[in-house]
Chains A and B, each alone.
Chain A
């Protein structure tokens, strides 16, 4: 199976190379035969990479330690699920998985390529194949996961997977993130294909809509799953630490979000053409740059699972991409001139541009924070780290500005809004938000940013509700119908599914923002010791240590604690928490298994840190994180909203009303 895997990967490399060259020739010569051949080679490459990926999975599941990668990242005692997920436990398999996802995405493009504009499609396939070719070059020539183990005998057992990665969420977080990264390669392929072919009408924007939304959804899901994994696995009570590798996935998310908003301006007003092209190029570039950060080891990170010296290859690829994009943009500059200009600062296009600028400012601030240690070392010779306070100080006000724009932008008129109409739309949400702010201060929350955050979220929520109400009212007037309010609202949402799907995403962001604000501003944490039978009270919970004992499994030795949680005022038992501390035999690593009582009001998060010298007192750490669960619920709402926007709307056949409009036009 090792030979089959390796040979399939090599064959895929040749097919991708053919796909690039034949795609460029088909685009240049407009010869359909070559175009059809590129479709076939893209499909063939995808089949070969799929075979290679499943071959590696087979080797893991069958404990084939003749393969060096399998020996390094698996052992016989591991759960079969983790044996399979060990495929992406290290650099070699991660790259193969990356190739797999990228080639499947390219296959989907090839599958539909005959329906794309003829002059654009071959170039798109050439660029998509070039991305696959780059990652296959690394997989085949640098990080080959099909290397035989160089040992005089076949080892009886493997080295085992990092214990931190033996977690169900870690099984889905990296693939989801990779999906987000790799699917962004497709909008990039259309973007560069449009530049190469000169087909710079809005066709490419229309064709990538679903791809970009799906890529954004996958990336959102991957980032939040990573946060959830950090929350339940790392034992520090938080979900986001501005770690360089977390940031590297967040950077393309920011530019992709900006792109999703600014393409609406291009579709509607034929503006921001160069801006959109570069947003997509930068987004794809940042996915490559993120991989460079993750793989090169230039920055210190908790994600040290897969650092190698291959990172510099990514940097060279990135430099080449940027060079090609710059040359093409200059070459096509006349076709990229906007047909209109922004006429008023009080217009939707101006607010969308402002939203883009804020997103890019956050992106720049995060990038600066990530690179500062590297740059400071290069300039002064001393590495100066940038910590969480820097990121929070810079980004919190920018995020709050973004929330404000999220409330105003979609509700303001295109081209030029009348100040009186703007005042009418926003006066009540503003006054109500002001009331909420005063109420919060009166209730004892006197920190500036939390109060501002809650008030802004309420402001945006009210604007969304107002927008829905105005839509329903308008529909009732135009239809002259006496339909119930709720059914009118449902009909409105169905009729304008994409618009209201977008608002649902915004609502999810609001829920997340409230949860993040609450869990940051009102968090409680405390280290403490408990003897068996002893109790201590923290906020509204009383904790009693019922038991502490040691145990072993084939994979690790563990210290187990059982802690009963009661409500302090009533004494009612609400949970039994069982935190663990594990010490894995094979790689001598220790991990904490956190115990969490999740609730709508707050999460009670308990970490077992060990036993004292006498062996009678358990060292514990408690975190009480208000509204934490709403962060995950908010993400789900965002993803549902994304799904609603993605599903294509089928317009009915030509209706009599439409026929009338067309005849009079």
Chain B
């Protein structure tokens, strides 16, 4: 048997096993979902913290009205507080 035929046959078998494995072997779905949600919350937290810093700088350099600044900051900090609470309770 030619080396190329052997190689391609082996590659096909390995890939078929690799792709079908998740369909055959059951995984822990709820744990995975929790991990995804935690990842999403952490990413959002990072984004909000940076947005808060930028908002403060915009305020200090006069690029945002006081009314807008107070409103946006209060909205961001509320969301951040909720995120921290959710992250703390998720462990």
Interface residues of A (CB under 8 A from B): 1, 3-4, 7-8, 11, 15, 18, 32-34, 36-37, 39-41, 43-44, 47-48, 51, 114-118, 203, 206, 267-268, 348, 411-418, 421, 467, 470-471, 474-475, 477-478, 495-496, 498-499, 648-651, 654, 658, 661-662, 664-665
Contact in complex: B19, A650 (CB < 8 Å): no
Cα–Cα distance between A470 and B78 once the two chains are bound (Å):
29
Given A11-B11, A471-B57, A499-B54, answer yes or no on A18-B63 (Cβ-Cβ < 8 Å): no
What are the residues of chain B within 8 A of A37 when measuring CB–CB? 19-23
Kindly list chain A residues whose C-beta atoms are within 8 Å of the C-beta of B18.
40, 43-44
Bound-complex Cα distance A498 to B54 (A): 10
Q: How far is the CA of A53 from the CA of B11 in the complex (A)?
A: 16
Q: A648 contacts which chain B residues (CB < 8 A)?
A: 46
- Interface core residue of B49, B56, B61 (most chain A CB under 10 Å): B61
Question: Which residue of the partner chain, among A11, A34, A411, contacts B15 with CB atoms under 8 Å?
Answer: A11
Q: Do most interface residues of chain A lie in helix, strand or loop, or is the interface mixed?
A: helix
Closest chain-B Cβ to A663's Cβ sits at a distance in Å of 8
With contacts A414-B58, A654-B84 taken as known, whether A32 is within 8 angstroms of B15 at the C-beta atoms is: no
Whether A415 lies near B15 (C-beta < 8 A) is no
Q: Please state if A662 and B80 are interface contacts (CB–CB under 8 Å).
A: yes
Chain B residues within an 8 Å CB radius of A418:
65
Instruction: Using A114-B35, A474-B61 as known contacts, say yes or no to A15 and B15 having CB atoms under 8 A apart.
Output: yes
CB distance from B58 to the nearest CB of A (A): 7
Task: Name the residue of chain B whose CB is nearest to the CB of A348.
Answer: B63
With beta carbons under 8 angstroms apart, the residue of B51, B60, B84 that contacts A662 is: B84
Cα-based distance from A649 to B46 in the complex (angstroms): 8
Report A-chain residues with C-beta under 8 Å of the C-beta of B23: 33-34, 37
Q: Are B19 and A478 closer than 8 Å at their CB atoms?
A: no
Known: A4-B8, A18-B19, A37-B19. A116 touches B74 (CB 8 A): no
| Of the residues B45, B64, B80, contact of A665 by C-beta under 8 Å | B80
Asked whether A665 lies within 8 Å of B74 as measured between CB atoms, the reply is yes
- Chain B residues within 8 Å of A114, by CB: 32, 35-36
Decide: A118 and B65 in contact? CB cutoff 8 A. Answer: no
User: Closest approach, in angstroms, between the C-beta of B41 and any C-beta of chain A?
Assistant: 11
B50 in contact with A4 (CB, 8 Å): no
The answer to whether A421 touches B62, judged by C-beta atoms less than 8 angstroms apart, is yes
Q: Is the CB of A651 within 8 A of B49?
A: yes
- Can you list 8 contacts pairing A with B, beta carbon distance less than 8 Å? A3-B8, A33-B26, A36-B27, A413-B62, A413-B68, A417-B63, A418-B65, A467-B61
For residue A477, which residues in chain B have a CB less than 8 angstroms away from its CB?
60
Across the interface, A118 reaches (CB within 8 A) one of B26, B33, B46, B81, namely B33
Q: Could you tell me if B63 and A116 are in contact, using CB atoms closer than 8 angstroms? A: no
User: Is residue B4 within 8 Å, beta carbon to beta carbon, of the partner chain?
Assistant: yes
Residues of B41-55 contacting chain A, CB below 8 A? 43-47, 49-51, 53-54
Q: Determine which of A18, A32, A649 lies in contact with B32 in the assembled complex, contact meaning CB atoms within 8 Å.
A: A32
Q: Which residue of B lies closest to A43 (CB)?
A: B18
Residue of A nearest to B16 (CB): A44
Given that A4-B8, A32-B32, A118-B36 are contacting pairs, would A651 and B15 also be in contact in the complex, using a CB cutoff of 8 Å? no
Q: Which of B11, B46, B78 has the most CB of A within 10 A?
A: B11
Q: Using Cβ atoms and an 8 Å threshold, which residues of chain A touch B36?
A: 114-118
| A47 CA to B7 CA, complexed, in Å | 14
Nearest CB in chain A: distance from B42 CB, A: 9
A662 x B77 contact (CB < 8 A):
yes
Give 8 closest A-B pairs by Cβ, nearest first. Answer: A474-B60, A36-B22, A665-B77, A651-B49, A115-B39, A3-B4, A7-B8, A44-B15
Contact in complex: A651, B45 (CB < 8 Å): yes
Query: Measured between C-beta atoms, what is the minimum distance from A118 to chain B in Å?
Result: 6
Q: Does B12 sit at the interface, judged by CB under 8 A?
A: yes
